[in-house]
Structure 1
Amino acid sequence: MRLITKLSLACIMGNILILSGCQNYVQPQQAVHKLASEPAKKNTFQLDGKIGVRTAEQSGSAFFTWAQQDNYFNIDLTGALGIGKTHIEGQPGQVTLTSAKTGTISASSPEELLEKATGWQTPITDLVQWVQAKTATNTAQTTTDSKNRLTNIVEDGWNVSLIYNDETQTLPNKLVLKQVLPNEQENRITMVIQNRTMN
């Protein structure tokens, strides 16, 4: 059980990955089905940075490297609560998580992988768009600044703040994701992007 708890936090911090969830989280049905009805979005980037997670039960942080090429992604996590290096990769229909302590776990989507490994659901698919200052659905509520940059997104049960290092930045250097839970607690993910390469 202790190993599953450590794996849970490591996975959440990964997606990215990336990311936090809680057993009290109810994933909107819109998020489950939206990808089947929308055309594929082209996404190619590499991010390096640090991600921190705080839930009602636990907290921690990890360094990450995330390479995304269209629908394929490759994520490496280090420093995640002593679980060692964790590797996550995937493409439509096949996602795997591998670490020395857990072996390989597979699923058909990032969300399914984390639910399978931890029992939690997380907004990994949406995060691909959020790190690029985009919304993932056409029903998102947004706020922009005087330069027309997205500064806040409310979508799929998450409130996302996008923070820019200076006035010249067009992509966020920091994202803070908050999910309010029914018991008035919250899950929070803080993602700091230290290096970004766009192709």
Structure 2
Amino acid sequence: MHLTNKLSLSCIMTTVLLMSGCQTYIQPQKTLQKSPENILQKDTFQIDGKIGVRTVQQSGSAFYTWSQQGNHFTIDLTGALGIGKTHIEGSPGQVTLTSAKTGTISATSPEELLEKATGWQTPITHLIQWVQAKPATVEAKTTQDAQHRISEIIEDGWNVTLIYNDESQKLPNKLILKQSLSNQEENRITMVIQNRA
């Protein structure tokens, strides 16, 4: 649901979280500065795989295809918590989510769309960087593995574990995102990346 580089990551989460309950909002931190050339280079890709969500209220999963072309993205999800196929599309200033169950929901930002669709307020706009094994803000804390790849990111209330299939891979094949809640409970999102283009 991301309009800029932040749009795409929110879109994936919005659809999968359509049935989730409200959570506490954590104010996003300063985003890293990027030049227009870097944004186009880093944020043009296509990935697909499976995403699963487990909250205190419920859990579910969906298959996704995410295409990012600079500031424009499209995400298609199937099997998302029993709501069927969902299409999310965004560009700066406009994000839409369309499914048979919800109809079309529009917003000017990924966060606004997420709140409209789920009632959930959270800074999930960093996913586009996390799938590329990079922190999204200057306040992020990172840990590296023996191959000097980022293996953990702690950022804006989320603990992200990046898993690589083998020692030669530079980008992760799996991300596990955890958000700690009260009473030692947590929200957990598992994103498996099966293909990258």
TM bucket normalised to smaller: 0.7 to 0.9
Closer, same or farther: CA 142–29 of 1 in aligned 2, 3 Å: closer
Residue 24 (structure 2) pairs with residue 25 (structure 1): yes
Displacement of 1:29? 4.6
Equivalent-residue separation in structure 2 for 1:110 and 1:192 (angstroms)? 22
Tell me, yes or no, if structure 1 residue 111 matches structure 2 residue 106.
no
Counterpart residue number, 1:182:
182
Q: How many residues align?
A: 182
Q: Deviations over 1:45-72 (max 9, x none)?
A: 1011000000000000000000011111
| Contact 1:160/1:176, CA 8 A, preserved across alignment | yes
Q: Deviations over 1:88-139 (max 9, x none)?
A: 0111111000011211100111111011121102443200000000110111
Q: Which deviates more, 21-30 or 176-185?
A: 21-30
* Aligned residues with identical type, % of pairs: 68
Q: Which residue of 1 aligns with 2:128?
A: 128
CA distance in 1, matches of 2:124, 2:15: 6
Is the aligned partner of 1:93 residue 2:90? no
Contact between 1:50 and 1:64, CA under 8 Å: does it hold in 2? Answer: yes
| SS of equivalent to 2:125 | helix
TM-score where L is the length of structure 1: 0.84
Question: Which residue does the alignment assign to 1:171?
Answer: 171
Please tell me the root mean square deviation across aligned C-alpha atoms, in Å.
2.1
Structure 2, gaps ≥5 residues long: 1-8
- Give the residue type in structure 1 aligned to 2:24: Y
Give the distance between the partners of 1:88 and 1:182, measured in 2 at CA: 31
Contact between 1:22 and 1:187, CA under 8 Å: does it hold in 2? no
> In 2, Cα distance between the equivalents of 1:102 and 1:19?
13
Between 110-119 and 166-175, report the one with greater CA deviation: 110-119
For the 8 Å contact 2:165–2:172, the answer to whether it is kept is yes
Which residues in structure 2 correspond to 1:1-199 (within 5 Å)?
A: 15-16=12-13, 22-30=21-29, 34=30, 38-39=33-34, 41-42=39-40, 43-197=43-197
Work out the CA distance in 1 between the residues paired with 2:59 and 2:134: 27
SS at match of 2:127: helix
Q: Is the 8 A contact 1:13 1:53 kept in 2?
A: no
Distance 1:159 1:19, change over 3 A: farther
* Normalised TM-score (structure 2): 0.85
SS at match of 1:183: helix
Q: Pick closer, same or farther for the CA change 1:125–1:13 going to 2, 3 Å.
A: closer
8 Å CA contact retained: 1:111, 1:122:
yes
Instruction: List gaps (5 residues or longer) in structure 1.
Output: 1-11
Q: Against the structure 1 CA distance between its residues 186 and 154, is the aligned structure 2 distance closer, same or farther, given a 3 Å change threshold?
A: same
